[in-house]
Structure 1
Amino acid sequence: MDVTNVPAANREESDHPAQVTTALVSDGVSSEFDGNTVRSVEVTFRPGERTKFHTHAGVQVLYVTEGEGIVATRNGEREVSEGDLIVFEPDEEHWHGNTRNADSPFSHLAFMAEPDGSEVTALEEP
């Protein structure tokens, strides 16, 4: 067992290649086993911030912790809010973020379980 405390104050702007903007990201945690890496981070999108379309080699699960936002695939968009749980299948092209006209932040916990050494594949902006 590994217990890690990640204070909310430890958020930094991210320049991740899948980001359209510089969302706030927590330090997160990561663990490797059986050829897989499991990671988690908290991401906070300020009004208008979002990711590009992107894919993961493994599954990505989002759990909305604050505000309202959008999750989308090539087949459509859905508005989500606190308490919603979203699952993206491996290699599913998707994006997520805040609405352009939002008055408040949109935050979610992101959990990824991917083959060791895999990286997110950033695509175009939505």
Structure 2
Amino acid sequence: MKVASTSEKQELEHPVQVGTPLISEPVSDEFENTGVDAAEVTFRPGERTKFHTHAGVQILYITEGVGIVATRDEEQEVSEGDLVIFPEGEEHWHGNTDEAEENFSHIHFLAESKDGELEIQEAP
């Protein structure tokens, strides 16, 4: 068992981000050949990720506000309590809109092989 506190948030600069969202201290562990990560991410108005893919499954649990999740073919509004699943290799982005009046937060869970890599695509 592993227990970690994620109560404090810090600004994170990451190559997949547009803007500098706040993120809690991530929790990570490995099971056989699979790495599992989780963290809460808060996007201020106008902040979002670039299009990207993962070498495993990414799950988002929306904890605050209203935001957008999108693939190359579809954009969908999500809000507190929604659960989003991106299958391995699906190009997607998630975040807040420029017009938003409040923050948008989600907890992300990512399960992928230890040698899996994040692939950043061009922004639309």
Q: In the TM superposition, what whole-angstrom CA distance separates every residue of 1:55-83 from its partner, at most 9, and x where no partner exists? A: 00000000000000000001110000000
1:63, 1:109 within 8 Å by CA — same for their partners in 2?
A: yes
Unaligned runs of 5+ in 1: none
- Deviating 4+ runs (over 3 angstroms): none
Q: Which residue of 1 aligns with 2:25?
A: 27
One-letter code aligned to 1:37: G
Do 1:74 and 1:94's aligned partners in 2 also have CA atoms closer than 8 Å? Answer: yes
> Is contact 1:32-1:38 (8 Å) kept?
yes
Query: TM-score scaled by structure 2?
Result: 0.96
CA distance, structure 2, for counterparts of residue 14 and residue 122 of structure 1: 17
CA contact (8 A) 1:66 1:108 kept: yes
CA distance in 1, matches of 2:28, 2:5: 13
Q: Which amino acid aligns with 1:15?
A: E
2:53 aligned partner: 55
Q: Which amino acid aligns with 2:4?
A: T
For the residues of structure 2 that align with 1:122 and 1:14, how far apart are their CA atoms? 17
What SS does the corresponding residue of 1:17 show, helix, strand or coil?
coil
Tell me by how many angstroms 1:122 deviates: 1.0
Structure 1 residues 1-126: aligned runs within 5 Å: 1-7=1-7, 10-126=8-124
Identity of aligned residues (%): 58
Give 1 or 2: higher strand fraction.
2
Aligned residues: 124
Query: Normalization by structure 1: what TM-score?
Result: 0.95
Letter in 2 for 1:98: N
Question: Structure 2 stretches of 5 or more lacking a match?
Answer: none
CA contact (8 A) 2:56 2:88 kept: yes
Asked if the contact 2:6/2:39 (under 8 Å) is kept, the reply is no
CA contact (8 A) 1:40 1:111 kept: yes
**Does the Cα contact within 8 Å between 1:39 and 1:111 map onto a contact in 2?**
yes
Letter in 1 for 2:70: A
